[in-house]
Amino acid sequence: MVSPKLMKQREIYASINATPPIVVRVDGRNFKATLKRLNFQKPYDKAFATAMANSAEHLMKEDGLSPKFAYTFSDEISVFFLKLPFQGRVEKLDSVTSSLLCSTLTLALDVHAPISFDARTIPLSREDISDYLEWRQTEAWRNHVHSYGHYTLVNEGMSKREAASKLAGVSSQKIQDMLFKKGINLAKTPAWQRRGILILKKTYMKPGYDPKKGARVVTKRSQIIQDWELPLFSSKEGKKLVNKLLMER
């Protein structure tokens, strides 16, 4: 019989620790089948996007986790930590973040079939955070272009397989040109579809009254908000936004 001590030593990944800052990115697993059962609109459904953003907001409020902010598009959520719970244990960070988001999303969508996220922890420096957000926002745009291209062809009568085959290897610019000729200007679609959604803590000053001091006081408070009208993270405005996120306590 293997001793409990030796068995504990076989938990070979339990001792892997991350140092901040990090991002934990979760991606939906087999979400297409779930969304099909729920009859969500294609290529985008605001109810689903709202459920994803609300799930990220719930995570932001969770005691003991306290991520700095989160960014979501499609079926992925990136959660940014400047301070780490669980002593930075990667197994804990991945499993708790993904399971909490999954259960919250299940409740938000009121689904009765299992859904799941996979998760990965990515170490960053503070300087890397802006680059990471630019990368994921570029992926949001690429996903936006190809999703509109794919479902436009499907709505015109092609099978999903035929549409995928027709778009295979076609550049994003050519897909945009094709859609423009069909009357679809991707630059005019909602910003959250093109650029994703940011969930962040915003601080504000609240006036009040201190009965012990018998004086009016102003206290700093914070609230979690969702930004559905993001600038490009690569723009001057976008970089200013990220810098402000990192500066706020």
The residue among 224, 226, 217, 218 whose CA lies nearest residue 248 is 224
Regarding predicted confidence, which is higher, 188 or 4? Answer: 188
**Average pLDDT for 44-49:** 94
Contact predicate 189/166, CB 8 Å: no
Taking the CB of residue 70, how many other CB atoms lie within 10 A of it?
A: 27
Residue 95 Cα distances to 24, 50, 90, 116, angstroms:
10, 23, 8, 11
Give the whole-number percent of the chain exceeding pLDDT 70: 94
Burial class (CB in 10 A: 0-12, 13-18, 19+), 80: buried
Q: Give the pLDDT confidence of 53-112 residue by residue, as tens digits.
A: 999 999 998 877 889 999 999 999 999 999 999 999 999 999 999 999 999 999 999 888
| Alpha-carbon span 76 to 183, nearest angstrom | 29
Q: Give the pLDDT confidence of 177-197 residue by residue, as tens digits.
A: 999 999 999 999 999 999 999
Is 7-135 in CATH node 3.40.50.300? no
Tokens at 148, concatenated: 């509109």
**Alpha carbon 188 to chain centroid, angstroms:** 22
| Alpha-carbon span 97 to 89, nearest angstrom | 12
